[in-house]
């Protein structure tokens, strides 16, 4: 059983989630060290995406506990978990298609002053300062992810790889402490996949953002992650470095179907 610790930004204890009679997640426990890039891998159907959906509040769990930075967030709604600092991306990018790239970023911050009439009347300086700071952050992220020239383009018109970049940029606009990346390289060409990999590494090193990376490309997992968790059939099968896991017969059998 995982024990919450100041060294771990996320602790998952005995998580269970079933759909009908199928145990998609069956007693999963693990930790994500603060400031790490931790990998979560496994064959198709292992339960990885169900874990991510459960951690981020998209699926209520049947039992178990999720502790985020010392706070029990089990079965919190997704918006409250996001406000607590856990932001996730999706296998298929979920951009707001009829808003521009720039507008997609501006909607992402969790707290937006001026939403009430009283704030709009009596907090104009505060709102103006927030807007100026937010616009600056959005511009900086667009430039960092090579999307600045596309800022006035409808987000739905971006390529698949550009949408993945926008997804990550939008997650960063929410000032996360932990980002769950659900197969960020899926459907992305090798050049943009390399860019995404470099961005994840740089954001971790420069800003100390913690990442939990779900990814099928094991070469990328090995390049980014010091510690990797392997799932199979809804359970944790093994943990360790990618090089050590390659020598683990249970892991090899899980990927090769026994």
Return all residues near 119 (Cβ < 8 A) that are at least 6 apart: 113, 126, 127
Same-domain pairing of 175 and 51: yes
Q: What is the pLDDT of residue 212?
A: 97
In a domain, 180, yes or no: yes
Q: Are residues 63 and 177 in the same domain?
A: yes
CB 48 within 8 A of CB 17: no
Q: What is the pTM of this model?
A: 0.88
In a domain, 37, yes or no: yes
| 128 has a pLDDT exceeding 80 | no
The total domain count for the chain is 2
Same domain, 73 and 188: yes
SS3 194: helix
**Does the residue 1 lie in any domain?**
no
Together in a domain, 176 and 115: no
Per the prediction, the chain carries an average pLDDT of 89
Question: Is position 223 within any domain?
Answer: yes
The answer, yes or no, to whether residue 209 has pLDDT greater than 60, is yes
- Residue 117's pLDDT band, with cuts at 50, 70 and 90, is low
Q: Within this chain, do residues 181 and 243 fall inside the same structural domain, yes or no?
A: yes
pLDDT confidence of residue 118: 59
b/e sequence 216-244, b meaning 16+ C-beta within 10 Å: ebbebbbebbebbbbbbebbbbbbbebee
Beta bridge partners of 28: 15
* Distance, CA of 184 to CA of 186 (rounded, Å): 6
Backbone angles phi, psi at 248, to 5 degrees: -85, 115
Do 137 and 37 share a structural domain? no
CA distance 105 to 150: 12
Query: Could you please report the per-residue DSSP string of 13-63?
Result: EEEEEEETTEEEEEEEEEEEETT-EEEEE-STTSSHHHHHHHHTTSS--SE
Q: Is residue 3 part of a domain?
A: no
Q: What is the pLDDT of residue 47?
A: 93
Helix, strand or coil, per DSSP, at residue 236: strand
CATH assignment at residue 173: 3.40.50.300
Residues 181, 202: Cα–Cα separation, whole Å: 15
Shared-domain flag, residues 36 and 111: no
* Per-residue pLDDT tens digits for 165-176: 999 999 999 989
């Amino acid at each position: 059983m995982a024990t919450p610790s100041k060294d771990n930004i996320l602790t998952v204890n005995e998580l269970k989630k079933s759909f009908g009679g199928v145990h998609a997640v069956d007693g999963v426990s693990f930790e994500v060290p603060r400031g790490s890039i931790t990998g979560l891998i496994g064959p198709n159907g292992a339960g990885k995406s169900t874990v991510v959906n459960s951690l981020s509040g998209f699926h209520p769990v049947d039992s178990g506990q999720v502790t985020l930075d010392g706070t029990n967030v089990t079965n919190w709604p997704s918006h409250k978990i996001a406000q607590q600092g856990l932001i996730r991306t999706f296998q298929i990018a979920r951009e707001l298609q009829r808003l521009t790239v720039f507008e997609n970023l501006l909607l992402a911050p969790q707290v937006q002053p001026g939403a009430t009439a009283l704030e709009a009347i009596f907090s104009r300086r505060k709102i103006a300062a927030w807007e100026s700071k937010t616009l600056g952050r959005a511009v900086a992220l667009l430039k960092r992810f090579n999307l600045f020239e596309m800022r006035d383009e409808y987000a739905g018109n971006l390529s698949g790889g550009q949408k993945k970049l926008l997804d990550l940029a939008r997650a960063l606009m929410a000032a996360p402490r932990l980002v769950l990346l659900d197969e960020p390289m899926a459907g992305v060409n090798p050049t943009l996949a390399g860019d995404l990999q470099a961005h994840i590494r740089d954001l971790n090193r420069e800003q100390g953002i913690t990442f939990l990376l779900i990814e099928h490309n094991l070469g990328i997992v090995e390049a980014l992650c010091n510690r990797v968790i392997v799932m199979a059939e809804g359970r944790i099968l093994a943990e360790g470095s990618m090089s050590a896991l390659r020598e683990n017969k249970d892991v090899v059998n899980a990927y090769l179907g026994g």
